[in-house]
Structure 1
Amino acid sequence: MNIIIASAGRTSSQLARKLLVQNHNVTLIESRPEVLQFVHKEIQTESIVEGNMLDLAVLESAGIKEADVLVAMSDDDQVNLLLCYIAGEYYDVRRKIARVNNSKYVWMFNEVFHVDYALDQATLIAMMIEEEISTGHMMVLLKLGKGDFSLVKEVIPAGAPVIGKELKTLNLTSVIAAILRNGEVVPPHGDTVFLENDEVIALADREGMENLARLFGSIA
């Protein structure tokens, strides 16, 4: 994919490196001399465009006409909103992602400004803490869609309520995708009996994750 990241701070540079390793075409836009001095040491020069990220000529030099994704990562919410609006309204960029610096303005980051995904850091951290409290030691392997569903892994500990029970007897609100037992994959069926130390892979929404955590004994 062709990806433009507007603002080249440390987080943006780390993101760019990860995407470049995955063979995406990544371009960083930055105008601050002190940041450019840093980023030129971190990222290959051909991936950096120097200039004002709201300047249409700079955006076009960065390849916005061919871009699949724009990530607006500046520390100014107004700039991030305007960037997403320009990308969607004038260049038809397919995905626009914006960093939210002040949570009280998160409601503005919507389809009116062509924002597809808003990265509200304070809210994300709060959600991570809440999720950790409500789902115990469950591991989230992959977020799906817009984050409504997750592929999760739970290891059944000693004394878990689910031990010795058949899958068909459980009132699950999630889908059991696989069970790993002693290094082997056990396809889940209705008569599958859960054992201690089984690694259970499931597809679940938030309610389903909490349901799994209770049954599989990771939280009291």
Structure 2
Amino acid sequence: MNIIILGAGRVGSVLAEHLNQEEENNITVVDNNRERLDSLLNRIDVQTVWGEASYPKTLLDAGCDKCDLMIAVSRTDEMNILACKIANKINSNATKICRVRSQEYWDYREMLDTDSHGNNTIDSFISPQRLVTRYIDRLLETPGALQSLPFANGLLRLIVVKTRTGGLLVGKKILEITHHLPEGIDTRIVAIYRKNKSIPTDGNVVIKENDEIFFIAETKHIKHMMCELRRTEEPYKKIIIAGGGIIGFRLAQDLEKKSYSVKLIEKDKYRLEAINPFLSSKTIALYGDATNPKLLLDEHINEADTFIAVTDSDECNILSSMLAKSFNTKKVMTLVNRPEYVSLLEDSQIDVAISPDQITISSILSYVRSGTANVYPLRKGVAEVLELIIPKKSPAIGKRLDELPLGEGINVGAIIRDKTNCIIAHRHIVCEVNDHVIVFVINRKLIKKVKKVFGTI
């Protein structure tokens, strides 16, 4: 596949690194910053074009007339939108993905999407803020989870959880799971990380406290599995949000429609005045700085179930989250843009570090991978879980899962058949055409092998 990436920033660079590892992809990155392009070339073997991404000549120099896919993730919404429209004039057959951050553009994306003849010019708009909001929503629905990733339109989820004392399975073997689950409930552990190292997931492995467990189950059965692995956490009710930007504002609007009690703290007085009329009485909007310990104590931070820091400053998010945790807030989630900060938070008291870049990249990868419905990079992008669709001529059709030459580091978690039938993966399950297969790989270098086995390349 010939792919053009507009923008060599964090998202564009990481996307290029991901996609470049797949031999069938030819990547060209466009940016007007030579230093960014040079830095990228020092790390990976891709083509680069220096110039403004929205200029027709730049797009032609990048090979837009022959590309299969163009991903616009440059520094501004306007450049992304204009570049996609010009690219459509050059090559209407190419798939065009456009990142927009502004809510105004998102609200009128249908208007931006069509030309004077009513034809679509942009195949997909991606809003990082909305993706992050949805990501946080799912975490709040699953108390105790570090990640909650949906598959098959939400029928299944991959849950990441750290085991704690009090979990029924801590100190027991994986094969004992079935003895504790109610009849009709099934699950599969696809990965275990102990002290940041992957360990086997065969039935004789004993689960220990502080293991990071990746398991797949039907969404309606998640709570039962959570009880097995850690002490049950009560549903979250009292939420404090630091930051009234697009993410904080939209999150508050979403949560107030449910049974949450929400407080939103914003230090920009004019921003607070702008959003307050659009919040219901279920949300208390407060003017102040979330890094101020007195303000947090005055608002009874110690009684909050969850503190979510989503300001536009990583430093403010980290500091306010550490303060919240020091005041015994049950769960703390922190929005972090700089990847080096995410690494620093791994062994801290902060429960969940949220990376908008990784969430955005996950959404884009689903468009790029042929025969793939969902893709989620995990553990800083080293590991990955994906939802593959078995094609008609797949060599896997008619074979049991234990007959497939997958090897170490690859785990099939589940199969979705006929769109609604969820089958947890066991060795005797036979693959059929159009099955959606959920596969976990401990290293994304194994993806090529996975795709070969299931015939998606």
Same fold (TM over 0.5): yes
Aligned position for 1:119: 354
| TM-superposition CA deviations, 1:7-29 (whole Å, max 9, x none) | 11111111222333342322111
- Residue 372 of structure 2 is aligned to residue 137 of structure 1: yes
Matched-pair contact (CA < 8 Å) for 1:135–1:213: no
SS at match of 1:36: helix
Partner residue of 1:38 out of 251, 274, 281: 274
Change in 2 beyond 3 A, CA 1:101/1:57: same
Question: How many residues are matched?
Answer: 215
* TM-superposed deviation, 1:169: 0.8
Q: CA separation in 1, counterparts of 2:388 and 2:321?
A: 38
- Residue 331 of structure 2 is aligned to residue 95 of structure 1: yes
Matched-pair contact (CA < 8 Å) for 1:49–1:62: no
Aligned position for 2:255: 19
Change in 2 beyond 3 A, CA 1:145/1:42: farther
Aligned position for 2:299: 62
Change in 2 beyond 3 A, CA 1:37/1:132: same
* TM-superposed deviation, 1:213: 3.5
Structure 2 counterpart of 1:36, one-letter code = L
Matched-pair contact (CA < 8 Å) for 1:168–1:190: yes
Matched-pair contact (CA < 8 Å) for 1:4–1:69: yes
Aligned position for 1:171: 405
- Residue 240 of structure 2 is aligned to residue 4 of structure 1: yes
Change in 2 beyond 3 A, CA 1:101/1:163: closer
- The percentage of counterpart residues that share the same residue type is 26
Structure 1 counterpart of 2:319, one-letter code = L
* TM-superposed deviation, 1:55: 2.7
Aligned position for 1:197: 434
- Higher alpha-carbon deviation: 205-214 or 40-49: 205-214
Matched-pair contact (CA < 8 Å) for 2:269–2:287: no
SS at match of 1:39: helix
Aligned position for 1:215: 453
Unaligned 5+ segments in structure 1 are none
Structure 2 counterpart of 1:97, one-letter code = M
* TM-superposed deviation, 1:66: 0.7
| TM-superposition CA deviations, 1:114-166 (whole Å, max 9, x none) | 333222333544465567656851325x9999999887543211212212323
Change in 2 beyond 3 A, CA 1:191/1:120: closer
Matched-pair contact (CA < 8 Å) for 2:412–2:440: yes
Q: CA separation in 2, counterparts of 1:188 and 1:115?
A: 33
Q: CA separation in 2, counterparts of 1:186 and 1:127?
A: 24
Matched-pair contact (CA < 8 Å) for 1:49–1:61: no
Q: CA separation in 2, counterparts of 1:183 and 1:123?
A: 28
Q: CA separation in 2, counterparts of 1:189 and 1:108?
A: 38
* TM-superposed deviation, 1:39: 1.9
Structure 2 counterpart of 1:204, one-letter code = F
TM-score (norm 1): 0.75
Change in 2 beyond 3 A, CA 1:73/1:171: same
Change in 2 beyond 3 A, CA 1:40/1:185: closer
* TM-superposed deviation, 1:104: 4.9
TM-score (norm 2): 0.40
Q: CA separation in 2, counterparts of 1:105 and 1:146?
A: 12
* TM-superposed deviation, 1:76: 2.2
Change in 2 beyond 3 A, CA 1:72/1:19: same
Partner residue of 2:388 out of 149, 154, 158: 154
Structure 1 counterpart of 2:249, one-letter code = S
| TM-superposition CA deviations, 1:177-220 (whole Å, max 9, x none) | 344148656676644432222334x36245488354432233x2
* TM-superposed deviation, 1:73: 1.4
Structure 2 counterpart of 1:119, one-letter code = I
Matched-pair contact (CA < 8 Å) for 1:179–1:188: no
Task: Give the aligned CA root-mean-square deviation in angstroms.
Answer: 3.7
| TM-superposition CA deviations, 1:58-115 (whole Å, max 9, x none) | 22343311112211112223222221221122x1122222222444544443545x33
Unaligned 5+ segments in structure 2 are 1-235
Change in 2 beyond 3 A, CA 1:38/1:136: farther
- Higher alpha-carbon deviation: 127-136 or 114-123: 127-136
